[in-house]
Chains A and B, each alone.
Chain A
Amino acid sequence: MMNKPSIADVANLAPEATDFHEIGSGGYKVVYQANIRGQSEAIKLVRIPTDANDPSTREENIRRIEREIGILRQCKTPNLVKLGSIAPRPAKIGSEEYVLYSEEFIPGKSLRDLINGRHRPTIQELATVGVCLLHAVGELSAMNVIHRDIKPDNIMQAELPARRYIVLDLGIAFQVGGTPITRDAGRIPGTLYYIAPEMLDVGFRQNLDYRADLYTIGLTLYEYASGKNPFKDPSDPPFSTLYRIKTLTPAPLASHRADLASEFCKLVDQLMKKIPALRPAGVPALLRRMEGFQ
């Protein structure tokens, strides 16, 4: 986030919390770890971008945050992050508007940390990640919600027996059949290297379903296993990346990890197919297959 507020300013907005330190930030968001009544929680401060010429921009962003919180409130699966003790509250620092709320703090490393540390996961670890992600996507899809931003940065290794991996950040989740939040139909939400190919089609919102999340589960497993995102080339302009996402078939996972079971590699490759119909759908059946590799 540009022009981040000072920790002292944030602490003033949440007097019940102490010991703030920043643990992450994005375009419109800063996340702090803080202590609330002896427990660590993740406090999220989300800026509400406004446009003096278009008051609806503010409304759009508030609705987006409300939707994220609404979804988290309904979720029961242990593989999605839980809300914390601070309910969403409007806040103002200087002339900027924010919403502040808390989520549980999950100690541990993200898959991104593990990839950056050149960790080489076993098939059991990979399958466990797959199982946890499928549980999360299964619950979201039952609520007609598509996460749309599953990626190594949003998955925490929690080291809790019932919650080995936890999915974070439903900031751009999509409600199938819900009221549209984004007014710019041409905008593609998501993180560049993790956009599902069908989201690049004109009018994709009409046809989007949870198989977009199955694609990013496949891509996340592929990257975690191989250490490589097959579409990533930071020297390329975004347009070239989008073209690759739409047209490039990644090298089979087995070509990077010949030590993994070929059936597991094939399953990951299948989840990354460009046409959703070519991905095996049906979360319960996928879970059974993934559990078979644990």
Chain B
Amino acid sequence: MKLYAQNGFGLGDKLNVGLDEKLLHGGIFSPKDLHLTTMKDRIGEIRKAFPKADILIDPQFYVSLFADGPNTNAGHLPEWDYFRSYRKSELEITKTVRKVLEECLRNIASFDVTGIIAPNLHISQSLDSREAVIAKSFIREARDVYAKLKDKRPLYASLVICREALQDRREFEEFINDITMLDAPPDGIYLIIAGRSAEARSDFFHADVVANWMLLNLSLSVNGMEVINGYSDILTPFLGVAGGAAGATGWWSNLRMFSMGRFFSTGVGGRQPITRYLSKLLLNRITFSEKDAIAPFVPEVINGLPHDADYDPEPERAKEVLQSWEALRSLTDAVVSDDIKAGIGKCRKAIERARQAYADIAAVGIALDAKSRDDHVEPLGEALRQFEERAGL
């Protein structure tokens, strides 16, 4: 399974370093966060320096429904020809969908990317809704419109679903039954699951959400589509076990988990987040001071990987994401295999080890910050159980 950088504001040289150190297989660029011309230059440089890297652009068309809202922060997106405000009623018309697809695909194909991600909107409530019908229309039409470009690069349709929509099992199964029966499927799907906020861990670490995210990966991959999971962060290895081809994460919390809030101004300032360390054992990030407090009692909380050295003393912020990518890559490589049952077994063991480690930490009386706690462990275990049962494994 591949790991990509989910790029955003403050790109700097992070992607280059990640690729140079072979922590990453590629990156997904964000039109909101880079000037169009800067992006073109950066992609050109990276392709030259790392010709084997996968470079993609998320068209972020899902912001279009809100493009003219007073609090919308579309950043540099309006610099792109395809980007403008749309209403759902316009997108219900197939002709409009095809026009958006053509403009967007042409625009993105003019960049030196290795694959083309097609636009789509955000399914914000239910998989049995107008938005879901429009989203399916974008997926169905993408291949035919792309054929006109006579471009040989792989085509990925986008699918952006709010996590609430994954909780109705009947609607979910009907939806996946529909999108796996395409006459002309794309080569793959760029899949994003959206929470209410990138900080709302319980939105993502929820058994139904993770199980259905895994089922999406399995059903699409069984049907020959390559699944690139955007903003999948620590869930990346679980999605890889289910058949996902790639996962992605970035350096801010809003590049690790997706929320439409990323495209709205909050008007509130804030301080820089605390630097954290991604522990493979805990399947979670802990603060620098927590890491130092736990390590004497539970030494396995340290990954034993080269970027651990950056954390002695506390690292500069740019190093944090390198440590994250390194830990995720290592965890993914350890868990994902061609045999789905073997992969699930390894995931289960990883969860059991995390459960035990948290018990050991509690036993020595170390209090953890809210984000460092074990709230994710039980939902992950339950998600695996649900996935296994529903996938008939």
- Chain A interface residues (CB < 8 Å from chain B): 201, 207, 209, 211, 249, 270, 272-282, 285
Contact = CB atoms under 8 A, between A and B. Distances in A.
A280 B223 contact: yes
Contacts of B93: none
A242 B351 CA distance: 35
Contacts of A280: 222-224
7 contacts: A201-B170, A211-B177, A275-B177, A276-B180, A277-B222, A278-B215, A282-B224
A248 to B, nearest CB: 9
A199 to B, nearest CB: 13
A97 B224 CA distance: 50
B271 to A, nearest CB: 45
A275 B390 contact: yes
Which residue, B177, B179, B215, has most C-beta atoms of chain A within 10 A? B177
A278 B181 contact: no
Contacts of B170: 201
A207 B174 contact: yes
Given A249-B392, A249-B393, A273-B391, A285 B224 contact: yes
Which residue, A209, A275, A277, has most C-beta atoms of chain B within 10 A? A277
B262 to A, nearest CB: 30
A272 to B, nearest CB: 8
A269 to B, nearest CB: 8
Interface of B: 170, 173-174, 176-177, 179-181, 215, 218-219, 222-224, 390-393
A211 B392 CA distance: 16
B310 to A, nearest CB: 42
B222 A275 contact: no
A275 B393 CA distance: 12
Contact of A278 (B174, B218, B224): B218
| Secondary structure of the B contact surface, majority rule | helix
B37 to A, nearest CB: 42
Given A280-B222, A282-B224, 11 more contacts: A207-B174, A211-B181, A273-B391, A273-B392, A275-B176, A276-B180, A277-B176, A278-B219, A278-B391, A281-B180, A282-B223
Nearest to A210: B181
| Secondary structure of the A contact surface, majority rule | loop
Nearest to A250: B392
A128 B180 CA distance: 26
A171 B218 CA distance: 35
Contacts of B177: 207, 209, 211, 275-277
A281 B392 contact: no
B173 A275 contact: yes
Contacts of B179: 277
A274 B223 CA distance: 15
Contacts of A249: 392-393
B181 A275 contact: no
B355 to A, nearest CB: 26
Contact of A274 (B176, B180, B218, B392): B392
Nearest to B390: A275
Contacts of A276: 177, 180
Contacts of B223: 277, 280-282
B219 A277 contact: yes
A211 B174 CA distance: 13
Which residue, A278, A281, A282, has most C-beta atoms of chain B within 10 A? A278
A182 to B, nearest CB: 22
Contacts of A273: 391-392
Nearest to B388: A249
Contacts of A282: 223-224
Nearest to B173: A275
A137 to B, nearest CB: 14
Which residue, B215, B222, B224, has most C-beta atoms of chain A within 10 A? B222
A279 B222 contact: yes
B296 to A, nearest CB: 46
A281 B176 contact: no
A280 B185 CA distance: 13
A154 to B, nearest CB: 25
A201 B171 CA distance: 12
A159 B90 CA distance: 58
